[in-house]
Amino acid sequence: MDSVAVSGSLRNRLVLTLISGAAVLALLLFFAVRNFAVQVAQQGQDNILDASATSMLDAATIRDGVIELDLPYSAFSMLTTSADDRVFYAILQDGEFLSGYEELKFSDSPTFQTDLIRGSGVRKISASRTLIGVNRRAELQIVLAQTQDALSKTLDQISRNAALLGLGFFALAVALSFWASSATIGQLGKLTTSVTRRGPQDLSPFTKPVPREMGPLVGSLNSLMGRLDQSLSQSEDFIAEAAHRVRTPLATVRSYAEATLQRVEKEENREAMRSMVKAIDESSRAAGQLLDHAMITFRADHLVREKIDLVDLVNDLVQRMTPIAEMKDLSLLLRGDPRVPYSGDPVLIQNAVRNLIDNAMKYGPAESSIEITVSASPTLHISVCDQGSGFPMDEIETLTSRFKRGANAADTIGSGLGLTIAQDVAMAHGGKIQLENQPEGGACVALSL
């Protein structure tokens, strides 16, 4: 199998893209949750500060021209937190400091501010109220601040929960990424399996539904297989036509060559004519087997199975080839089961067995026998064994290749297609052929179906 240039993994790229997106979304989720929590928590503290400052201002009055302010307990109790945050306040009248922490400065705007008091970060509010008495009008200003230890503790807890939520989301997204990539790439895997399972002669288009994104790929494959099918059909038609047109004139030339051989007296001329007859026989045989191979290739693509008895089929073939065998001082022996029913293409099977018997007659010595066995056990098979020199052991694995002949076949007429034809027929029926040498001498070919 030719090596394929591979650049990375589509599955890994898809997973990496999805995981990267999940990581970005997890970070965005973390910061979004934390920022929302900060806003909510800060809003809660601001509302409490505002309520406390309002409660203090409501407690202020002018009596006998003097401002009286009795800070209510509730104003401070509502600022109590689990972290015992410290509270700072400053009271001013018309901008003049009256009581509290002098470092607190009143600000007109904004109402809420974040500041640093005595080394601690605080949230403060500036609020004012105009007091009107009988003969006096005064502006009372309050600055109220609270540290944010409880808020920080709450935000830390929320941040941890948000981080756990982000990690959980990321882990789920990673799992979904692997699942999504497997489900997506799985469609390509199914297409690959479908192509792999096809036989070498199956060039029919893919008809199963595929995702829209794979449509152009499958369409291109179908178009390619259509062109290949057409090209192979044209090649097989050409071979069949060429073989058919060559065989007839070759037969005519052979007749003239044999007639001329009878009239030639010089030995060197007779030897030349014998060589011519042999070459004509080789060409005629090659043309005939090319025609057989083209026919088998076509029928294998359009296999028509019939219920047949393999014993009857082979017996009919043996009877027709017996006269040819007797001319070579060979005997054909049919053995095996009395009946072997099978559903297959009789034309292809008979053609394959005929080529195996023909090969055996070519390599079997005179006055020997060729055994043809048809049996259904242990597996359904047809074997043809001769008593010749056998197969060259170092070439036995390659002899089924097209036009491949063994080193011991140099002086024997042949085209190197007989075993190829038998193998193609076996594969078309879901079987195989097996070549081996017999211990007592001779070659044996088993055609299993």
Please state the rounded mean pLDDT for residues 154-164.
85
Query: What amino acid occupies position 249?
Result: P
pLDDT at 71: 79
**Banded model confidence at residue 384, pLDDT cuts 50, 70, 90:** very high
Best-predicted range by mean pLDDT among 38-52, 264-278, 291-305, 392-406? 38-52
pLDDT at 403: 58
In a domain, 25, yes or no: yes
User: Alpha helices of 382-428 — where are they, by DSSP H?
Assistant: 418-428
Domain that holds residue 256: 202-302
Q: Are residues 121 and 223 in the same domain?
A: no
Rounded Cα distance, 111 and 126, in Å: 6
- Paired with 121 in beta bridges are 116
Q: How far apart are the first and last CA of the chain?
A: 27
Domain CATH code at residue 444: 3.30.565.10
pLDDT at 200: 59
In a domain, 169, yes or no: no
Please state the rounded mean pLDDT for residues 392-408.
69
For 67, what's the count of Cα atoms within 13 Å in the CB-facing half-sphere? Answer: 22
Q: Are residues 143 and 252 in the same domain?
A: no
pLDDT at 239: 65
Q: Are residues 244 and 309 in the same domain?
A: no
Which element (helix H / strand E) includes 62? strand 60-63
Q: Are residues 229 and 268 in the same domain?
A: yes
Over pLDDT 90: what percentage of the chain?
6
**pLDDT for 119-142, tens place per residue?**
888 888 888 888 887 677 888 888
The number of domains in the chain is: 3
Name which of 173-187, 207-221, 265-279, 409-423 the model is least confident about: 409-423
Q: Are residues 48 and 94 in the same domain?
A: yes
**Whether residue 313 has pLDDT greater than 80:** yes
Q: Are residues 296 and 328 in the same domain?
A: no
**Whether residue 312 has pLDDT greater than 90:** yes
Give the closest residue to 282 by CA, choosing from 144, 139, 125, 410.
410
Mean pLDDT of the chain: 81
pLDDT at 23: 87
pLDDT at 316: 92
**Whether residue 1 has pLDDT greater than 50:** no
Q: Are residues 266 and 344 in the same domain?
A: no
Q: From 156, 178, 212, give the residue that closes a domain.
A: 156
The H helix count followed by the E strand count for the chain is 8, 14
**pLDDT for 316-325, tens place per residue?**
999 988 988 8
Name which of 43-57, 115-129, 187-201, 374-388 the model is least confident about: 187-201
**pLDDT for 228-272, tens place per residue?**
778 777 776 776 676 667 667 777 777 877 777 777 777 887 788
Domain CATH code at residue 262: 1.10.287
Q: From 269, 302, 335, give the residue that closes a domain.
A: 302
For 265, what's the count of Cα atoms within 13 Å in the CB-facing half-sphere? Answer: 0
